[in-house]
Amino acid sequence: MDAHNHARPTNGSLDEDVIPVVGGSVLDERTLVLNRSWMAVNVTTVRRALTLTYLGCARIVDPVNFDTFDFEQWISLEIGGSARVIQTVCSAIRVPELIVLQSYDKQPVLRVPFSRRNLFLRDNYRCQYCGVKASSDDLSVDHVFPRSRGGDSTWVNCVLACHGCNVRKGNRTPQEAGMRLLRQPSQPRWPVYISLGYHHRCASWRRFVADSNASESA
Ligand SMILES: [Zn+2]
Protein backbone atom coordinates (compact mmCIF):
# COMPACT_ATOMS: atom_id res chain seq x y z
CA MET A 1 0.00 0.00 0.00
CA ASP A 2 2.86 2.35 0.80
CA ALA A 3 3.98 2.40 -2.79
CA HIS A 4 0.67 3.91 -3.78
CA ASN A 5 0.48 6.55 -1.12
CA HIS A 6 1.75 9.36 -3.24
CA ALA A 7 -0.85 8.86 -5.88
CA ARG A 8 -3.76 8.12 -3.59
CA PRO A 9 -5.62 10.28 -1.14
CA THR A 10 -4.57 9.71 2.46
CA ASN A 11 -6.44 12.46 4.20
CA GLY A 12 -9.47 10.34 4.95
CA SER A 13 -11.83 11.97 2.51
CA LEU A 14 -12.64 10.76 -0.92
CA ASP A 15 -10.65 12.65 -3.47
CA GLU A 16 -12.84 14.44 -5.98
CA ASP A 17 -10.73 13.00 -8.76
CA VAL A 18 -11.43 9.47 -7.61
CA ILE A 19 -15.19 9.67 -7.89
CA PRO A 20 -16.69 12.91 -9.13
CA VAL A 21 -20.04 12.42 -7.48
CA VAL A 22 -23.28 13.96 -8.57
CA GLY A 23 -25.22 14.84 -5.45
CA GLY A 24 -22.97 13.88 -2.57
CA SER A 25 -25.43 13.12 0.22
CA VAL A 26 -25.26 9.37 -0.31
CA LEU A 27 -21.59 9.58 0.59
CA ASP A 28 -22.58 10.72 4.07
CA GLU A 29 -24.68 7.64 4.69
CA ARG A 30 -23.36 4.80 6.84
CA THR A 31 -21.30 1.73 6.18
CA LEU A 32 -20.63 -0.94 8.78
CA VAL A 33 -16.94 -1.70 9.31
CA LEU A 34 -15.89 -5.27 10.07
CA ASN A 35 -12.46 -6.32 11.25
CA ARG A 36 -10.59 -9.20 9.67
CA SER A 37 -12.50 -11.59 11.88
CA TRP A 38 -15.74 -10.19 10.44
CA MET A 39 -16.75 -8.58 13.71
CA ALA A 40 -18.44 -5.20 13.62
CA VAL A 41 -16.01 -2.63 14.97
CA ASN A 42 -17.36 0.68 13.77
CA VAL A 43 -19.65 2.60 11.53
CA THR A 44 -18.21 4.99 9.02
CA THR A 45 -19.47 7.07 6.14
CA VAL A 46 -19.88 5.68 2.66
CA ARG A 47 -17.27 8.22 1.60
CA ARG A 48 -14.72 6.90 4.09
CA ALA A 49 -15.59 3.29 3.27
CA LEU A 50 -14.87 3.90 -0.41
CA THR A 51 -11.65 5.70 0.44
CA LEU A 52 -10.45 2.85 2.66
CA THR A 53 -11.25 0.42 -0.12
CA TYR A 54 -9.53 2.59 -2.70
CA LEU A 55 -6.44 2.69 -0.49
CA GLY A 56 -6.44 -1.08 -0.23
CA CYS A 57 -7.17 -1.01 3.52
CA ALA A 58 -10.57 -2.65 3.14
CA ARG A 59 -12.70 -4.71 0.80
CA ILE A 60 -16.36 -4.10 0.16
CA VAL A 61 -18.68 -6.92 1.18
CA ASP A 62 -21.64 -7.90 -0.95
CA PRO A 63 -24.64 -7.61 1.39
CA VAL A 64 -26.35 -10.67 -0.05
CA ASN A 65 -23.71 -13.33 -0.62
CA PHE A 66 -20.84 -11.73 1.36
CA ASP A 67 -18.35 -11.95 -1.47
CA THR A 68 -15.67 -9.28 -1.14
CA PHE A 69 -14.39 -6.85 -3.74
CA ASP A 70 -11.54 -4.42 -4.11
CA PHE A 71 -12.25 -0.94 -5.37
CA GLU A 72 -11.80 -1.63 -9.06
CA GLN A 73 -13.92 -4.76 -8.87
CA TRP A 74 -16.67 -2.94 -6.99
CA ILE A 75 -16.96 -0.04 -9.38
CA SER A 76 -17.04 -2.47 -12.29
CA LEU A 77 -20.01 -4.39 -10.90
CA GLU A 78 -23.22 -4.33 -12.80
CA ILE A 79 -25.95 -2.47 -10.98
CA GLY A 80 -28.99 -4.55 -10.16
CA GLY A 81 -32.48 -3.13 -10.35
CA SER A 82 -33.01 -2.41 -6.67
CA ALA A 83 -29.44 -1.56 -5.68
CA ARG A 84 -28.83 1.83 -4.14
CA VAL A 85 -26.24 3.74 -6.09
CA ILE A 86 -23.90 6.68 -6.00
CA GLN A 87 -24.38 8.53 -9.23
CA THR A 88 -21.09 9.74 -10.67
CA VAL A 89 -20.48 11.85 -13.71
CA CYS A 90 -20.01 8.89 -16.01
CA SER A 91 -21.49 5.91 -14.21
CA ALA A 92 -23.12 4.60 -11.04
CA ILE A 93 -21.53 2.76 -8.15
CA ARG A 94 -23.38 0.57 -5.69
CA VAL A 95 -23.51 1.99 -2.16
CA PRO A 96 -21.30 -0.16 0.08
CA GLU A 97 -23.24 -1.36 3.13
CA LEU A 98 -20.37 -3.33 4.64
CA ILE A 99 -16.61 -3.27 4.40
CA VAL A 100 -14.09 -5.64 5.92
CA LEU A 101 -10.75 -4.26 7.01
CA GLN A 102 -7.66 -5.98 5.71
CA SER A 103 -5.28 -5.30 8.58
CA TYR A 104 -7.25 -4.55 11.75
CA ASP A 105 -7.38 -7.68 13.83
CA LYS A 106 -8.05 -6.39 17.28
CA GLN A 107 -11.19 -7.02 19.21
CA PRO A 108 -13.12 -3.83 19.49
CA VAL A 109 -12.32 -2.00 22.71
CA LEU A 110 -14.93 0.66 22.91
CA ARG A 111 -16.20 2.73 25.73
CA VAL A 112 -19.71 3.93 25.19
CA PRO A 113 -20.17 7.04 27.32
CA PHE A 114 -22.77 6.73 30.01
CA SER A 115 -25.59 9.16 29.30
CA ARG A 116 -29.33 9.27 29.53
CA ARG A 117 -29.68 9.09 25.77
CA ASN A 118 -27.37 6.11 25.45
CA LEU A 119 -29.19 4.37 28.29
CA PHE A 120 -32.45 4.69 26.38
CA LEU A 121 -30.74 3.19 23.36
CA ARG A 122 -29.16 0.37 25.34
CA ASP A 123 -32.47 -0.59 26.94
CA ASN A 124 -34.34 0.04 23.70
CA TYR A 125 -37.03 2.18 25.34
CA ARG A 126 -38.14 -0.80 27.41
CA CYS A 127 -38.83 -0.93 31.14
CA GLN A 128 -36.26 -3.37 32.46
CA TYR A 129 -38.66 -4.69 35.09
CA CYS A 130 -42.00 -5.30 33.38
CA GLY A 131 -40.75 -5.14 29.79
CA VAL A 132 -43.23 -2.53 28.60
CA LYS A 133 -42.02 -0.42 25.71
CA ALA A 134 -42.76 3.27 26.03
CA SER A 135 -41.77 6.74 24.99
CA SER A 136 -39.04 8.65 26.78
CA ASP A 137 -41.74 10.61 28.63
CA ASP A 138 -43.07 7.44 30.19
CA LEU A 139 -39.74 5.99 31.23
CA SER A 140 -37.22 7.14 33.77
CA VAL A 141 -33.74 6.13 34.83
CA ASP A 142 -33.84 3.79 37.78
CA HIS A 143 -30.81 3.23 39.99
CA VAL A 144 -30.87 -0.50 40.70
CA PHE A 145 -29.11 0.08 44.00
CA PRO A 146 -30.82 3.32 45.02
CA ARG A 147 -28.94 6.54 44.61
CA SER A 148 -30.13 7.71 48.02
CA ARG A 149 -28.21 4.81 49.52
CA GLY A 150 -25.04 5.46 47.59
CA GLY A 151 -25.82 3.80 44.27
CA ASP A 152 -23.75 5.10 41.36
CA SER A 153 -24.93 6.46 38.04
CA THR A 154 -23.18 3.84 35.95
CA TRP A 155 -24.01 1.41 33.18
CA VAL A 156 -24.19 -1.46 35.66
CA ASN A 157 -26.43 0.33 38.16
CA CYS A 158 -28.91 2.13 35.93
CA VAL A 159 -31.81 0.81 33.90
CA LEU A 160 -34.94 2.21 32.35
CA ALA A 161 -38.13 1.79 34.33
CA CYS A 162 -41.71 2.74 33.62
CA HIS A 163 -43.41 4.99 36.14
CA GLY A 164 -45.38 2.13 37.63
CA CYS A 165 -42.32 0.00 38.27
CA ASN A 166 -40.36 2.98 39.52
CA VAL A 167 -42.99 3.79 42.13
CA ARG A 168 -43.36 0.17 43.13
CA LYS A 169 -39.63 -0.25 43.60
CA GLY A 170 -39.21 3.01 45.45
CA ASN A 171 -36.14 3.31 47.59
CA ARG A 172 -35.36 -0.40 47.50
CA THR A 173 -33.22 -2.85 45.63
CA PRO A 174 -35.04 -5.15 43.21
CA GLN A 175 -34.56 -8.00 45.65
CA GLU A 176 -36.06 -6.01 48.51
CA ALA A 177 -38.97 -5.02 46.30
CA GLY A 178 -39.48 -8.54 45.01
CA MET A 179 -38.83 -7.41 41.44
CA ARG A 180 -36.66 -8.95 38.78
CA LEU A 181 -34.60 -7.28 36.10
CA LEU A 182 -35.12 -8.56 32.57
CA ARG A 183 -31.36 -8.72 32.28
CA GLN A 184 -28.35 -7.64 34.24
CA PRO A 185 -27.39 -4.10 33.16
CA SER A 186 -23.96 -3.81 31.59
CA GLN A 187 -21.77 -1.54 29.56
CA PRO A 188 -22.92 -1.70 25.93
CA ARG A 189 -20.31 -3.20 23.70
CA TRP A 190 -21.64 -2.34 20.33
CA PRO A 191 -20.83 1.21 19.25
CA VAL A 192 -23.10 1.41 16.28
CA TYR A 193 -26.39 2.32 17.82
CA ILE A 194 -24.96 5.35 19.53
CA SER A 195 -24.83 7.29 16.33
CA LEU A 196 -27.69 5.66 14.52
CA GLY A 197 -31.35 5.10 14.96
CA TYR A 198 -32.44 1.55 14.35
CA HIS A 199 -34.25 2.60 11.24
CA HIS A 200 -30.94 3.38 9.58
CA ARG A 201 -29.58 -0.10 9.94
CA CYS A 202 -29.30 -2.24 6.86
CA ALA A 203 -30.59 -5.79 6.98
CA SER A 204 -27.12 -6.93 5.99
CA TRP A 205 -25.68 -5.53 9.23
CA ARG A 206 -27.70 -7.73 11.53
CA ARG A 207 -25.57 -10.78 10.94
CA PHE A 208 -22.57 -8.97 12.37
CA VAL A 209 -24.11 -7.29 15.36
CA ALA A 210 -24.15 -9.37 18.50
CA ASP A 211 -26.16 -7.08 20.73
CA SER A 212 -29.57 -8.51 21.48
CA ASN A 213 -31.22 -5.18 20.85
CA ALA A 214 -30.04 -5.16 17.29
CA SER A 215 -32.76 -7.31 15.89
CA GLU A 216 -35.51 -5.28 17.45
CA SER A 217 -37.05 -2.36 15.75
CA ALA A 218 -37.50 0.89 17.58
ZN1 LIG B 1 -42.31 -1.37 34.18
Phi, psi of 47 (to 5 degrees): -60, -50
CA of 175 to the centre of ligand 1 (A): 15
69-86 pLDDT tens trace: 999 999 998 887 777 888
Strands 58-61 and 158-162: unpaired
Distance 161 CA to ligand 1 centre (A): 5
Domain that holds residue 59: 2-101
Q: Give the distance (Å) from ligand 1 centre to CA of residue 74.
A: 49
Give CA–CA dist 75/69, Å, rounded: 9
Instruction: Write out the DSSP string of 94-107.
Output: EPPSEEEESS--SP
Assess whether 64 and 35 both reside in one domain. Answer: yes
Q: Which of 177, 193, 209 is the last residue of a domain?
A: 177
Q: Is residue 93 part of a domain?
A: yes
Answer with the one of 101, 131, 157 that is the final residue of a domain. Answer: 101
CA of 71 to the centre of ligand 1 (A): 50
- Check whether residue 172 and residue 138 sit in a common domain: yes
Say what the alpha-carbon torsion angle 16, 20, 23, 27 is, to the nearest 10 degrees.
-60
* Structural domain total, the chain: 2
For residues 94 and 125, membership in a common domain is answered with no
Predicted pLDDT at 85: 85
Q: Taking 50 as the threshold, does the pLDDT of residue 3 lie above it? A: no
Please indicate, yes or no, if residue 203 is contained in any of the structural domains.
Answer: no
Residue 88 inside a domain? The answer is: yes
Give burial (CB, 10 Å; 0-12/13-18/19+) of 30.
buried
pLDDT, tens digit (0-9, with 9 covering 90-100), for 16-60: 444 555 555 888 888 888 888 888 777 888 999 999 999 999 999
- How does pLDDT run across 175-196, given as a tens digit for each residue? 999 999 999 999 876 654 444 4
Q: Does residue 12 surpass a pLDDT of 60? A: no
φ, ψ for residue 41 (rounded to 5)? -120, -15
| Ligand 1 center–CA 124 separation, angstroms | 13
CA 171 – ligand 1 centroid, Å? 15
Q: For residue 160, give the CATH number of its domain.
A: 1.10.30.50
Compute, in angstroms, the gap from residue 164 CA to the centroid of ligand 1. Answer: 6
Indicate whether 141 and 89 sit together in one domain: no
Q: What is the Å distance from ligand 1's center to 201 Cα?
A: 27
Rounded to the nearest angstrom, the distance between the alpha carbon of 115 and the centre of ligand 1 is 20
Ligand 1 centroid to residue 163 C-alpha, Å: 7
Instruction: Please enumerate in sequence order all residues whose Cβ is within 8 A of that of 88, keeping only pairs 6 or more positions apart, or say none.
Output: 19, 20, 21, 22
Same domain, 27 and 97: yes
Distance of CA 80 to the CA centre of its chain: 26
What average pLDDT is seen over the chain?
A: 79
Q: For residue 199, how far is its CA from the centre of ligand 1 (angstroms)?
A: 25
Q: Is residue 199 part of a domain?
A: no
Which of 48, 66, 101 is where one domain is finished? 101
